Amino acid sequence: MTESGTTQPTVQEIIATFKDKPGALLPILHGIQDTLGYIPADCVPDIAAGLSLSRAEVHGVISFYHYFRDTPPGKQTIHLCRAESCQAMGAKQLEEHVKSKLGIGFHETTPDGKFSLEPVYCLGNCACSPAMQIGKEIYGRVTADSFDATITTTEASA
């Protein structure tokens, strides 16, 4: 058994809830990221112990999937689509605008901690390209102006 980590009780509850499901690791990781916003490194030993896996195996899974993160995100995560359909409708120019507006690149968080920026390869909103997602909200036919307006509204409501 791995030594017990310093993770919060919520993590233990999540592990206990899912650990007997077949293929429990992804549901556990989703549960933790949904609750904490990321998967802190100190959860890994507890997850490993709960599922009788090695820490390396758990770490390997976390690092394989683009969606899982091991650092806290900003208050809001902006997923900007980089896929072909959005590119055909100006996603590259939009990407440049978004990066300069926020002053950050992909996989970065603004210094004030308000926004994280992540690329995404298709939101399935290809009939309304270019698309982006903020939290669980999806936006279509995004322009530089509509992006700025959305950010202002999101900031105000955050």
Partner 1 sequence: MSITIYVPCDSSAVSLGADRVATAIAKEAATRGLDIKLVRNGSRGMFWLEPLVEVATAKGRVAYGPVQPGDVSGLFDADFTQGGAHALGLGLTEELDYFKKQQRLTFARIGKTDPLSLTDYVENDGYRGLKNALAMSQEQIVQAVTDSGLRGRGGAAFPTGIKWKTVLNTASAQKYIICNADEGDSGTFSDRMVMEDDPFVLIEGMTIAGLAVDATQGYIYLRIEYPHACEVLNAAIATAYKEGYLGDNIQGSDKRFDLEVRLGAGAYVCGEETSLMESLEGKRGLVRFKPPLPAISGLFGQPTVVNNVISLASVPIILDKGGDYYRDFGIGRSRGTLPVQLAGNIKRPGLVELSFGLTLRELLYDFGGGSASGRPIKAVQVGGPLGAYLPEAQFDTVLDYEAFAAIWAVVGHGGIVVFDDTVNMAEMARYSMEFCKIESCGKCTPCRIGSTRGVEVMDDIINGRNLDKNIPLLRDLCDTLLNGSLCALGGMTPYPVLSALNHFPEDFGINAKATAA
Residues in contact with partner 1 by the rule CB under 8 A: 22-27, 29-30, 51, 57, 60-61, 64-68, 79, 83-89, 120-129, 131, 133, 136, 138-141
Minimum distance, C-beta of residue 88 to partner 1, in the bound complex (Å):
4
Pick between residue 3 and residue 64 the one whose CB is nearest to partner 1.
64
- Give the CA-trace dihedral at 78, 31, 60, 123, to 10 degrees: -30
Cα–Cα distance between 113 and 157 in angstroms, integer? 15
Pick between residue 111 and residue 136 the one whose CB is nearest to partner 1.
136
| DSSP assigned state of 21 | S
Pick between residue 66 and residue 101 the one whose CB is nearest to partner 1.
66
| Nearest of 11, 19, 60 to residue 39 by alpha carbon | 11
Minimum distance, C-beta of residue 112 to partner 1, in the bound complex (Å):
26
Cα–Cα distance between 117 and 128 in angstroms, integer? 20
Which residue has tokens 């999937």? 65
Minimum distance, C-beta of residue 42 to partner 1, in the bound complex (Å):
20
